[in-house]
Structure 1
């Protein structure tokens, strides 16, 4: 099954110039822990609730801090025409629970999460279980993209 058939297509996007306070309110509104960050129609980063807590609040940076100052600039992504098994494998290798989905022109078209994959029939349940078991392996410093 291709990602385009099970990904979340209604994606809220933050701007690098936006404040982290605005980004946090967007996350609250959509009940999500992360937002893709886009500028000039290109994905330039990701911001998570953990980024806000660890890179801003823990460093005494206020809600007016621009997203660009604390976002993760490394963007891990997959393509909409990939199989869910390939996306689950990437998520497992990178130890992440969600990923932006791009078309082949590298424009954001959705988000795929382990939850989305788990609802993709028996193939999704198998892929999700394997990915989750790899993502939750303990060892080394904790990293979240």
Structure 2
């Protein structure tokens, strides 16, 4: 199974200049746990997760500050045609819960979560159990 098969929805993206509050509103509206921050070429320059928002609130960072202040820079990405085993290895070794899927030009195609990967690995294991 390849990584692109795990993408269930269009990526939710934003500019680094939006406010932290606006980022939270977008994530709530789109019902996602992460927001990919992209440049003008649609390439990922950062990612903001629910955990980043939680830490920002706990650290009393003003919510009108730009999201670039709390995003994880240089996010981990994986090419869309990579095998799911590579995604598992990346997420485990980097201790991340969201992985940005990109095409061969580095443009964002989607985001997969640890939940997506676990579901797929479970389905593969179940399928193998019947062999």
Same fold (TM over 0.5): yes
- DSSP-derived class of the 2:14 partner: coil
Size of the aligned set, in residue pairs, is 125
Could you list the per-position Cα deviations for residues 74-117 of structure 1 after superposition, in whole angstroms to 9, with x for gaps in the alignment? 31111100011111111111111220000110000011122222
The whole-number CA distance in structure 1 between the counterparts of 2:99 and 2:109 is 11
Q: How does 1:90-105 map to 2 (within 5 A)?
A: 90-105=90-105
Residues 1:85 and 2:85 aligned together:
yes
1:124 Cα deviation from its structure 2 partner: 6.6
Query: Which residue of structure 2 lines up, in the alignment, with residue 11 of structure 1?
Result: 11
Quote the offset at 1:66 in angstroms: 0.5
Per the alignment, residue 111 of structure 1 pairs with: 111
d(CA) in 1 for partners of 2:125 and 2:53? 31
Q: Which runs of 5+ in 1 are unaligned?
A: 127-145
Tell me the CA shift for residue 34 of structure 1.
1.6
Partner of 1:134: none
TM-score scaled by length of structure 2: 0.84
More strand by share: 2
CA RMSD of aligned residues (A): 2.0
Query: Would you say 1:53 and 2:54 are equivalent positions?
Result: yes
Answering whether residue 67 of structure 2 is matched by residue 71 of structure 1, we say no
Once superposed, which parts of structure 1, at least 4 consecutive aligned residues long, lie more than 4 Å away?
none
Provide the rounded CA distance (Å) in 2 between the counterparts of 1:29 and 1:68.
20
Kindly tell me: are residues 124 and 106 of structure 1, through their superposed partners in 2, closer, same or farther at Cα, counting changes over 3 Å? farther
User: Structure 2 regions of 5+ residues with no counterpart?
Assistant: none
Compute the TM-score of the two structures, normalised by the length of structure 1: 0.76
2:96 is paired with a residue whose SS is coil
